[in-house]
Amino acid sequence: MNTFISLLEDRVREVNSLLCVGLDPHPQDLPAPTAELACRFCLRLIESTSDLAAAYKPNAAFFEALGPEGFSALREVIAAVPDGLPVILDAKRGDIASTARAYAQAAFQILGANALTVNPYLGRDAVKPFLDDPAKGVFLLCKTSNPGSADLQDLQVKNLTKVLNPSQSLTVYEHVARLAQTWNKNDNLGLVVGATHPEALRRVRAVAPDVWILAPGVGAQGGDLQAALKAGLRNDGLGLLVPVSRGIARAEDPFQAAEELRATINREVKKIQESKVGSEQMPVASPHSRLSTPEYAELADALLVTGCVRFGEFTLKSGLLSPVYIDLRRLVAYPDLLAQVASVYLPLLQGLSFDHLAALPYAALPIATAVSLQGDWSMVYPRKEVKTYGTKAPIEGLYNPGERVVVIDDLTTTGGSKFEAIEKLATAGLRVRDVVVLIDRQSGAGVELEKRGYRLHAVFTLTELLDYWESVDRVPDEQISAVREFLELT
């Protein structure tokens, strides 16, 4: 499926550029405030910079101010952008769902933009119409570049991880970044975070390590390019678009100004990437591990604090004596932690194709319910004991034979309980391809599932958690060693 983010990343790699050229026909930049001159102004910029730009960002306000002719000029400007070069319409739309659908039609079908800036203040149902088409993108206003953004966006909200840090709260903009993770089902959602706020960029990147960020404010608004790149780049050196308008449009030679900007950005990206190699500031976990990000690391710590993972001597269902015990049933005592656990299932699920979640009783029922609420997915579950009364249904929930389900569980050991549940689901006519868990105990389940044609997806492996807890000195070395020896034996 061709998504907006794939279009953007293809273009970024093709021209080796993170530069987004703003198309803002300010009245003072025109001989006269007419739609025709505004159009010419933008077409000149496109012609000069199309070999250097990763994207274009026309500002709808400057065209709308010129009346019906201005709207026509905006459509002509967007149509002039070469194919394969994304156009992000800066219009900051946001309204109830029916109105949002009309705004989406205007931006994407009538004007021909590839993406749109959207205000999330009305919530998910008002954003969804803009996200329905994977080929069309949304940049959600998160932490805007203007000084007054602090009036609302810096307010404190309830911290989902208060089990660890009860005195620490999230800002509204961090909460928006977390919501974006759950709303990005079609790989077409990014965030707007001003380059004028490097600390906010850093915090958003920690909350949303993979999302693309549009970072306005470099140049006329005083944003520091180096600080913005350092705070907002992903680990792969991508993930941040730098929009510049007046710095290019008002230059004597727009091509040269854009070329110098692209070169400056690329030099800074290279320095930042090189400085990470061997740096003491690098995460203690492998850079390829989710535990290299603060959100996942904090979750791993919370599992210890709440006793969801304990070390000692425990008899497992199989009769084996284990030096570690994972009891995720305890999550029901910590609603905020349960919500956070559900949120880390979402990135795994967003890459899969299914009609329903299928929760395995009993530990996974609350987890899958929380995932269902956050991801807006239907849920079914096979009963452990089939009812002898009422409907006598072996599978609870609404479904049709032939539909696909993804199995949700808390952890895997040998895979035995998964096969029992899959057999019940298959008997009811449901198709299973994927199994998603929080923790893979690495006791053979993955291999057994693969042998039978199923794919296992785990947020964490037990080895990853051990490596992390050891590196931050959360668990005594002798207990870590005992578990590693146990894993080798089993």
Q: Report the chain's C-alpha Rg in angstroms.
A: 25
Contacts of 134 (CB under 8 A, 6+ apart): 1, 2, 3, 4, 186, 187, 188
Q: For residue 218, what is the DSSP state?
A: B
The answer to whether residues 177 and 209 touch, using CB atoms and an 8 Å cutoff, is: no
* DSSP-assigned letters across all residues of 293-333: SHHHHHHHHHHHHTTSEEEEEEE-TTS-EEEEEE-GGGGGG
Cis before 454 (ω within 30): no
* DSSP-assigned letters across all residues of 359-379: EPTTTHHHHHHHHHHHHT--E
Q: Which helix (H) or strand (E) holds 455?
A: strand 455-461
The answer to whether residues 88 and 114 touch, using CB atoms and an 8 Å cutoff, is: yes
Identify the CA nearest to 41 among candidates 18, 62, 55: 62
Q: Work out whether strand 19-23 and strand 55-58 pair parallel, antiparallel, or are unpaired.
A: parallel
* Whole-number Å distance between alpha carbons of 226 and 237: 13
Residues, the chain: 490
Residue whose entry in the numeric block shows the structure tokens 């530069």:
19
**Is 143 one of the catalytic residues?**
no
Q: Which of 57, 92, 384, 418 is catalytic?
A: 92
Alpha helices in 171-223 (DSSP H): 172-183, 198-207
* Whole-number Å distance between alpha carbons of 102 and 108: 10
Q: Please, which contacts does 332-337 make with residues 24 or more away whose CB atoms are closer than 8 Å?
A: 332/366, 333/306, 334/163, 334/302, 334/306, 336/158, 336/159, 336/160, 336/161, 336/162, 336/163, 337/160, 337/161, 337/163, 337/299, 337/302, 337/306
* Whole-number Å distance between alpha carbons of 4 and 490: 45
The tokens for 412 are: 């895997």
The answer to whether residues 50 and 14 touch, using CB atoms and an 8 Å cutoff, is: no
Q: What is the set of active-site residues?
A: 92
